[in-house]
Structure 1
């Protein structure tokens, strides 16, 4: 299994909310190493923290993991602003060692350019009608609560995880239409920026496809999908889903033959022969 990537992109963790899979994303980052880590918005959910959210130890552990990646692996970390962590506007842009906090960025790799942005800037509802966005956030929070109740009973019955909100998004025509339009608009923005592709988050829908010649990538989220984007050392992008990772690292067991009584005699009384290769290790 490949464990070292050139770049990993994660977004929409929503730390500070009940639905945040902080423990899972920290475990995911412990499993892999990367030269660049891009936190593409909505990492901290300032909206919920202002209302009814709470900061827990597992949320702090996520940032402890980031610091270990910076110090131990010399990983460069880019934290891009999202709509739920818009409090970052007060300090943007900021550079501290290998940590950079900014609005968006252009990422160049293997002769290709990608415009990386959280994606809320292209959402007219979020940008212009803030109170409607908050109302939508309340509805989504309720869906996540309902989703936890549904999956609690599914686990008791031995059934796999089921995303209620993703199911509803797929069934409501207006939601499907919005997502399609959103992806097309971001592809157009990549063209306007003179880029070959665009990397975003925001809508909690992981994707890796081409739209009119533009490479469209969405890292998904760590509330339901639990997914990330990863670029290997040859410039190939892939989606990694937490639920598909095999965390069991089984070491090969080598069975050695049981020593006989004669073997013990040889070890104890035979004159040791010089090892010509021993000096190579000294």
Structure 2
């Protein structure tokens, strides 16, 4: 099972909330290595921390894992601002060694360019009507609470996990329409910037598909979906779901490799192309599109 990737993108961890799967994502990052880790917004939920959220030790462990990735594997980490961690605006842009904190970015790999942004800039409700966004956040928080109650009884009955929010998103016509429009507008923006693809988060819906010739990729979230985007060393992208990972198999593979140093030498060397990161060029885009 492949556990070493060129680039991994995660978003919407929402540390500081009850729904955040901090332990799971720390375990994920302990098993999976990458040269570039992109934290694509809403990693820390500043909105909830201001209200009823709380910071726990497991949330700190997540960042400890990030620091170990930088120290032990020389991983380059890019933290992009989202709407729930908009407090980062006060320090943007900032670089400390291999840790970069910025608004968004252009990622170039294997002859392709990808615009990477959290995606809330295209959400007119979040951008222009902040009080409505807060109400929506309260509704989603209640839905997650109700979801935990429902799944508590489902587990007792031997039933699998059921996502109430994903079910509602798929059934309510206005939600379906919003998601479709959101994805289409992001694809248009990527094309306007001369990019081959767009990588985002924000709507908590993992997806990889083509929209008018543009690669649209959404990393999902670590509240319910628990998913990440990963690029291998040949430029292929895929979604990885935490609930589908065979962690026992990964541990066996790691132990086998550690016990047989010759195996490392027998592995084919894959030529790596240089990855370049730069801020998007705003000359061809209205300033309002910036976060």
Bigger shift: residues 90-99 or 151-160: 151-160
**C-alpha distance in 2 between matches for 1:251 and 1:64:** 25
Corresponding residue SS for 1:248:
helix
Summarize the Cα distance change of 1:114–1:251 in structure 2 as closer, same or farther, 3 Å threshold: closer
* Pairwise CA distance, 1:157: 1.3
Runs ≥4 in structure 1, deviation > 6 angstroms?
none
**C-alpha distance in 2 between matches for 1:103 and 1:67:** 21
**C-alpha distance in 2 between matches for 1:31 and 1:139:** 34
What's the TM-score, normalizing by structure 2?
Answer: 0.86
Superposition RMSD in Å = 1.3
**C-alpha distance in 1 between matches for 2:142 and 2:252:** 44
Structure 1: gaps of 5 or more residues: 253-282
Aligned to 1:76: 76
Count of residue correspondences: 254
**C-alpha distance in 2 between matches for 1:225 and 1:146:** 16
Aligned to 1:108: 108
Question: Which is greater in Rg?
Answer: 1
Summarize the Cα distance change of 1:181–1:61 in structure 2 as closer, same or farther, 3 Å threshold: same
**C-alpha distance in 2 between matches for 1:88 and 1:55:** 17
Structure 2: gaps of 5 or more residues: 254-291
**C-alpha distance in 2 between matches for 1:160 and 1:62:** 27
* Pairwise CA distance, 1:156: 1.2
Aligned to 1:236: 236
**C-alpha distance in 1 between matches for 2:12 and 2:233:** 25
Aligned to 2:129: 129
Aligned to 1:261: none
Aligned to 1:208: 208
**C-alpha distance in 2 between matches for 1:84 and 1:217:** 20
**C-alpha distance in 2 between matches for 1:173 and 1:96:** 45
Corresponding residue SS for 1:202:
coil
Corresponding residue SS for 2:248:
coil
**Does 1:58 pair with 2:58?**
yes
Aligned to 1:24: 24
Aligned to 1:273: none
Corresponding residue SS for 1:83:
coil
**C-alpha distance in 2 between matches for 1:193 and 1:10:** 23
**C-alpha distance in 2 between matches for 1:111 and 1:200:** 20
**C-alpha distance in 1 between matches for 2:16 and 2:227:** 19
Aligned to 2:263: none
* Pairwise CA distance, 1:251: 4.1
